[in-house]
Amino acid sequence: MPNIPSVDLNNFLSDDQSLKQEFVNKLGKAYQDIGFVALKGHFLKDSDIENIYKYIKVFFDLPDEVKCKYELDGFAGQRGYTSFGKEHAKGKKHGDLKEFWHFGQYLDDSEYSKLGYPKNLIVDEVPEFNQIGKTVYQSLEKTAIYVLRAISLFLDLEEDHFDKFVQKGNSILRPIHYPPIKSKPLGAERAAAHGDINLITLLMGAHGRGLQVLTNDGEWIDAIAEKDEIVINVGDMLSRYTNNKLKSTIHKVINPPKELWKKSRYSIPFFLHPVGTMKLNVLDSCVDDQNPKKYDDITAHEFLIQRLKDIGVL
């Protein structure tokens, strides 16, 4: 079966300008055609990957009454725990078959107030969970910034165009637990077909079948990464910012075959968000007679709130 393109971030970081430009071209073409790539050369250490999977399993194995101590309402729910079935895809009535946790930006107290972000919650029962969450968050954020620099060059912008918008952006690391399926789901999937809200998403744990991507031909294909790769896709914010030049692709996590119902699945996406004041107004360079402006002007925060209401978490 066809799979998503693979790129190596080491080529972008190389002093060889031809390798760097090759990375930019390949990444840009993939994001125009299907909106997904598998990326080697990221900044995650193998030991960090091993530890975050170890401790998210410890956390999700805690009793529900313990986990629910960390569940908050409204916008504050962008940190901490979200219980099973609470979130659903836009336009869907069935809750997704998952529970998850949110790690957010790590800032000084004064910066939380200034930017209006909720603070991270600390899990008293599993201190290692808090520590590894911060490490993985910062490693994926660093990776994401370099990917955005390559995207900037592909769009003929200054290489650091996105830096000022994302370095203290409202990004989220979301460890997800898809529990064992106990009976045939009625209309629900582990994650129903959806597009991501943010600029780009970096996904750990796409090494086996489960994640599927909708192609331009209307075909669902598996998005499977190698062990040393993470999957990175375009979100709706970046798609509208580029007037759909870069493609925010519909994707889903399918239910496993019945013989695997008793197994849990874990995945860990990192949703790269800009600061809320960033204007998502369509780039002038992405508008012409053949591609008129498709979206009204809006800030990143306004768009985020709109979409959080759509998926049932606000």
CA-based Rg of the chain, rounded to a whole angstrom?
Answer: 19
Q: Are 143 and 272 in contact (CB under 8 A)?
A: no
Give residue 199's region: left, alpha or beta (phi > 0; psi -120 to 50): alpha
User: What's domain 6-310's superfamily in CATH?
Assistant: B-lactam Antibiotic, Isopenicillin N Synthase; Chain (2.60.120.330)
List the alpha helices (DSSP H) in 34-78: 46-60, 64-67
Q: In this predicted structure, what is the pLDDT of residue 251? A: 82
Its sign, for the CA torsion 313, 135, 110, 167, is: negative
Which tokens in the block code for residue 291? 């591609």
Alpha-carbon distance 153 to 160, whole Å?
A: 9
Neighbour tally for 55: CB within 10 Å: 20
Mean pLDDT, the chain cut into blocks of 10 residues (314 residues total): 83 97 97 93 95 96 95 84 71 69 94 90 97 98 98 97 95 91 61 84 74 84 86 95 94 71 84 96 95 96 89 68
Q: Name 270's bridge partners.
A: 173, 202
Which tokens in the block code for residue 254? 């399918």
* Ranges of each domain in the chain: 6-310
Q: Which residue has the tokens 């031809």?
A: 18
User: Pick from 239, 267, 250, 247: which is nearest to 34 by CA?
Assistant: 247
Predicted TM-score (pTM) of the model is 0.90
Alpha-carbon distance 59 to 53, whole Å?
A: 10
